[in-house]
Amino acid sequence: MRISCIAFTERGYALAERTAHALSDYAQTGEDDPGWDVSVSRGFGEGKADLRAWTALAWEASDALLFVGAAGIAVRAIAPHVASKASDPAVVVIDEAGRFAVPLLSGHLGGANELAQTVARAAGAIPVITTATDVRGVWAVDTWARCAGLAVSNPEAIKRVSARLLSGGRVALYSDMPISGQPPEGVDIASDRARADIVVSPFAGANAGASVRAAETTGEVVPAGETGKTASVARRAAPAPEPLRLVVPCIVAGIGCRRGACAEAIEEAFLLACGQVGISPSAVREAATIDVKAHEEGLLAFCRARNIPLATYSADELSQVQGSISPSDFVRATVGVDNVCERAALADGGKLIFPKLAHGGVTVAFSKVTIELSFKER
């Protein structure tokens, strides 16, 4: 977790340094978590950082901002940048005496509540948590989503789910992925996606992915261009509110491209494929291709923009992949294997859900891997 910290007095700076050292020594939970990366700046004295410029830079480059000083200073500094709970970084304030650590912004999705508790432990302070679900001991769906690595498609729906739980009501949760552990109090597991208050899925809309899910039960691959169509549904007198949609990163995008293909062309083909199959682009966990494309700048730029890794495989590795493949003599003559995008999508053991789509010198195919989620706290 990248944390940018700023202090406004000598005493505060000394506390910031001690806290940063303590945080750097902590090992965060989660096997893929590299730990804490904390930078400390001076907001006072000779060589002080300009607060407005510091905040703007930290807002874009950091996962969290830690202010050591008055809460009012932090509020005024961050006010021009606040946009959405789905994208804002965590913001925590600790007073210069190290008595209280207060999460100001993104308590759940951004992790500010947990950061405040960790900062408080490091500094010997008291964490001041004010979010209703935490105060009342009610399950916070947005905290669970963050810990499970799920993206939130419609964060405005979080309030409705939390309000029902806080009022003693119940919510129904549907998931395309298995979830282990006992459901939290007030949460029922639903078998009908259409009746769920929370939908955990890589698919974007109410009916998106229906053809894919049906095909998975028959073992058939849905032809490109035939998915993502709106299914006909019976009219309701009062349509149910839009469910909270949590996106599972379980899709591997196999990508082939001609030499020199630009990132824009790859993005266009990728979004076209996403639209046809009905998946959310944020459901894609990685891109995969043949190793001779490992240094294609357009493909690398696409992956950087999407913040996804690029897996590469040799022609021999791809040729050994089993599954329903669309062979091409031209591709075989060019790179040594009869298909790149479908074989690359399948190379990690997933199931092909969307076959090759060719567009503008780019080919895209999708596979889905199974990810087991858990209600247990990490």
User: 165-186 pLDDT, tens per residue?
Assistant: 999 999 999 999 999 999 999 9
Task: Classify residue 150: in a domain, yes or no.
Answer: no
Which residue's entry shows tokens 């031209």?
Answer: 330
pLDDT at 320 over 90: yes
Residue 97 domain boundaries = 2-130
205 in Cβ contact with 182 (< 8 Å): no
Gap between the Cα atoms of 123 and 100, Å rounded: 9
Domain membership flag for residue 233: no
**pTM of the entire predicted model:** 0.80
DSSP string, 78-120: HGGG---TTTPPEEEEE-TTS-EEEEEE-SSSS-HHHHHHHHH
Q: Are 96 and 12 in contact (CB under 8 A)?
A: yes
* Residues recorded for the chain: 378
Q: Residues 289, 299: contact at Cβ < 8 Å?
A: yes
Q: Which of 66, 98, 130 is the last residue of a domain?
A: 130
The pLDDT of residue 122 is above 60? yes
Q: 323-348, pLDDT tens digit by residue?
A: 888 899 999 998 999 999 999 999 99
Confirm whether 183 is domain-assigned. no
- Closest by CA to 180, choosing from 378, 376, 368, is 376
Q: Please check the confidence at residue 210 and state whether its pLDDT lies above 90.
A: no
Average pLDDT rounded to a whole number, residues 217-243: 55
pLDDT for the residue numbered 30: 41
**Which of 130, 155, 177 is where one domain is finished?**
130
What is the SS3 string spanning 268-303? HHHHHHHHHHCECHHHEEEEEEEHHHCCCHHHHHHH
> What tokens appear for 98 in the block?
């190290």
CATH number of residue 322's parent domain: 3.30.420.180
Under 8 Å between Cβ of 169 and 123: no
Q: Is residue 154 part of a domain?
A: no
Q: How far apart are CA 40 and CA 5, in angstroms?
A: 5
Domain membership flag for residue 344: yes
* 95 is a domain residue: yes
Query: What pLDDT, on the 0 to 100 scale, is given for residue 211?
Result: 52
Residue for token pair 């050994």: 320
Q: How confident is the model at residue 307 (pLDDT cuts 50, 70, 90)?
A: very high
Task: Check residues 90 and 37 and name the one with the higher pLDDT.
Answer: 90
Q: Which of 94-98, 226-230, 239-243 has the lowest mean pLDDT?
A: 226-230
DSSP H or E segment with residue 32:
none
The pair of structure tokens assigned to 102 is: 């207060």
The pLDDT, as a whole number, for residue 149 is: 92
Give a yes or no: residue 287 inside a domain: yes
pLDDT digits (tens, 9 = 90+) for 185-199: 999 999 999 999 999
Per-residue model confidence (pLDDT) at position 378 = 53
The CATH number of whichever domain residue 20 belongs to comes to 3.40.50.11220
The predicted structure's pLDDT at residue 209: 52
pLDDT number for residue 232: 47
pLDDT, greater one: 114 or 29:
114
150 with 179: CB under 8 angstroms? Answer: no
Tell me what the mean pLDDT of segment 254-267 comes to. Answer: 96
Last-in-domain residue among 109, 130, 151: 130
pLDDT-derived band at 283 (thresholds 50, 70, 90) equals very high
Average pLDDT of the chain?
A: 89
**What separation in angstroms does the CA of 372 have from each of 70, 151, 181, 183?**
43, 16, 11, 14
Q: How confident is the model at residue 221 (pLDDT cuts 50, 70, 90)?
A: low
Q: What is the dihedral of CA 62, 103, 156, 287, to 10 degrees?
A: 30
Residue 180 dihedral angles phi and psi, to the nearest 5°: -90, 165
Residues near 15 by beta carbon (within 8 Å), at least 6 away in sequence: 7, 68, 94, 96, 97, 98, 123
Task: Report how many domains make up the chain.
Answer: 2
In a domain, 223, yes or no: no
